[in-house]
Chains A and B, each alone.
Chain A
Amino acid sequence: MIRIEAFVSVPPCSGGVALKRLLKEIEAEFGSQVEIVYHTGPGDKEWEEYAISNAPALVVGDLVKFVGLAPSKESMVSALHEAGLE
């Protein structure tokens, strides 16, 4: 199971909206192999743990992969493969 942590702002930026749409697609396609967790707004300690200061951001596995943008689906799937998706 690969853990995806999505960091989005309050209110959501356009990239955050795009990221949520992308993650719905990812969940539909790889639902049994991924676990998606959202950190919405600045309250969660993970923002500091990963030193993320721009939204949206994505941590895949335990590595920060994208900050300040919503990646393409192709890039997202590549990040998942790098994290061990078969």
Chain B
Amino acid sequence: MVQLEIFSGDPPCPGCVAIIELAKRVAEQYADQVELTVLVGQECMNKFEAYKLFCVPAAVVNGTVRIEGMCPSEQTLKTALREGGVTL
């Protein structure tokens, strides 16, 4: 399984709202290949710092930071997942 971690602020910015919605949609599409974890606010700070993230929204695929500070297009998120091993 490819691990997709989405980081969101609390309260969320519009980009955080959008990336969570997008990630849920894409993860559902590839449910047999993608395991989605949504990390929000203070509870995600340990991982946020471990990945040396600077700001949210962010998407981490298999432990590698792929997208930070913006909500990507669906195609971009899918490309990041493909780089992580998802067969599209």
Contact = CB atoms under 8 A, between A and B. Distances in A.
Of the four ranges (under 10, 10 to 19, 20 to 34, 35 or more), the interface on chain A belongs to 20 to 34
Contacts, number: 72
Of the four ranges (under 10, 10 to 19, 20 to 34, 35 or more), the interface on chain B belongs to 20 to 34
Contact of B12 (A41, A54, A69): A54
B58 to A, nearest CB: 9
B14 A9 contact: no
Tell me the interface secondary structure of chain B in the complex.
mixed
Nearest to B7: A11
Nearest to B9: A9
B38 interface: no
Nearest to B14: A68
A68 B41 contact: no
Interface of B: 7, 9-17, 41-42, 44-45, 48, 53-57, 69-70
Interface of A: 7-17, 41-42, 47, 52-56, 68-69
